[in-house]
Chains A and B, each alone.
Chain A
Amino acid sequence: MFFTRSRPKRYVFSKGIDDMLIGVYNAYLFVGRFFRELFRSPLHIRVVIDQCFEVGLRSLTLITLTGFVTGVVFTKQSRPSLEVFGAASWLPSLISIALVRALGSLVTALICAGKVGSSIGAELGSMRVTEQIDAMEVSAVNPFKYLVVTRVLATTIAVPILSLYCTFVGLLGSYMNVHAHEDTSFISFFENGFSTLSFIDLFTAVFKSILFGFTIGIIGTYKGYNATQGTRGVGRAANQAVVLSMFLIFIEEIVVVQVSNWIKFF
């Protein structure tokens, strides 16, 4: 038989909306599975550590560069406005607030989404379409644990560390610019900077970057693990991993900032 009669498909809303809702539901199941598998042995600690180094190595140069440039440029651009009010001495505080509260983790997360998220998506995607994931499964190795859980853990651990590093490099860049104008010591620059930051600020920053790291890992693995349609699917998985995780990172940023402001208010 050469022709199969196709029944017309019915949608609850429309094709686009239905697909999106199904996608959200599947992602929800995927996250659920992650937490279930996370607490079952074996944890493949070695793979997690290797993956942490992968994440670091892939993004370190770019994070260093971007963090440093952000610190220098931000300081340089803010100085004239502050000098108008005779408040140039507030520079360290301003920069610390900006870097710790927002820029450090955001810049790091966006860079990692681009570099790490896409490569996780592409790697798992190509393993899926070339049946390497099936091969793992038939050798009685749980591919979800071995590939997904390890990578998500790695990004969740590595991104906060990279964020701290990025913030530090940014402050260093800022200090160099400040130092070029005034004779501020390194210690007093930091003391000045951190005096305006509360515990909530630091806590929020770390919490946020853990969330970003988790998002990058889970979206990258979700897209890759569920890749279909051959090599085209691999490219699409990588691409969608970046777009979707950046989108979610922005939303999370807004929500977390809002919530932490409420907490501070009370």
Chain B
Amino acid sequence: MVEKHYIHHTINKEEKVISIREVYKSFGELDVLKGVNLDVYKGENIVVLGRSGTGKSVLIKLLVGLLVQDKGTVNVLGQEVSKLKEKDLNALRLRIGFSFQNSALYDSMNIRQNLEFPLVMNRKHLTKKEVDMAVDEVLDAVGLKDKKEQLPSDLSGGQRKRIGIARTLILKPEIMLYDEPTSGLDPITSTEINELINEVQEQYNTSSIIITHDLTCAKATADRVAMLLDGTFASVGSFEEVFAIQEERIQSFYNYNFVK
């Protein structure tokens, strides 16, 4: 398995970019998050693990204000998300990249238009040429330069995922949120995505939350791992630390991933 190693990159343990405190969230009678706490440091990749339906996607939606918690505080880049006015929230959103579980590409637009959209709508001073260059740069980063004029429906699931990531990279975010970046992909493509995640971290010094079920992805990308069980983080630490804990549910998560 690929271990993580840095060439030149430091995690600044002094600077918190995300701070989640005692967060609760329910949908009707379904209590999803029950007192979640988590800190993410500058330049760090943190992997959130947890079974399907435990509220991982809900958690990162709170960070960009797509959902609002019932209780607790969510602080991102020094600002409390639920208290922000629309204008400030949008300013914050521009500093966060959110890559959706199902890519969420605009299917009425081709790939180029998809990638341009965040730029054209938010950076109106850019010239056509600058936009084109930015598009080429992110397409290069995800290795799909030849697909520019195709529609999302013409791409495979893995390619769509990569375009989804490219679309979030185009605004050069300080924080990246990846919702299951490798699910449903073959091992080789998954490895490429893992490498991409690490490259983004090193190149742009981004902090990331990576949601996944895939322990290979977790091991390859994580500086720390957080295990979501029953609406709270049961344990947070390095990959080895978390899976050294002799808790039945953590161990079975491990065992099902690596059939022994």
Residues of chain A touching chain B, judged by Cβ–Cβ distance below 8 Å, are 4, 6-7, 123, 126-127, 130-132, 134-142, 146
Contact = CB atoms under 8 A, between A and B. Distances in A.
B104 A134 contact: yes
B104 A141 contact: no
Given A4-B29, A138-B98, A139-B117, A132 B90 contact: no
A169 to B, nearest CB: 31
B29 A7 contact: yes
Given A139-B122, A141-B117, A134 B93 contact: no
A43 to B, nearest CB: 13
B122 A140 contact: yes
B107 interface: yes
B91 interface: yes
B93 A139 contact: yes
Contacts of A130: 102, 104, 107
Contact of B100 (A6, A131, A146): A131
Nearest to B109: A132
A134 B100 contact: yes
A18 to B, nearest CB: 15
B211 to A, nearest CB: 14
A134 B102 CA distance: 12
B66 A138 contact: yes
A132 B104 contact: yes
B29 A135 contact: no
A4 B230 CA distance: 13
A132 B101 CA distance: 11
A232 to B, nearest CB: 17
B106 interface: yes
A265 B217 CA distance: 77
B121 A139 contact: yes
B94 interface: yes
A136 B104 CA distance: 9
Nearest to B97: A138
A135 B104 contact: yes
Given A7-B29, A138-B93, A139-B171, A132 B107 contact: yes
B222 interface: no
Interface in B89-128: 90-91, 93-94, 96, 98, 100-102, 104-108, 117-118, 121-122
9 contacts: A130-B102, A134-B61, A135-B105, A135-B167, A136-B106, A138-B93, A139-B94, A139-B121, A139-B122
A138 B64 contact: yes
A131 B118 contact: no
Nearest to B92: A140
B2 interface: no
Given A130-B102, A131-B100, A137 B121 contact: no
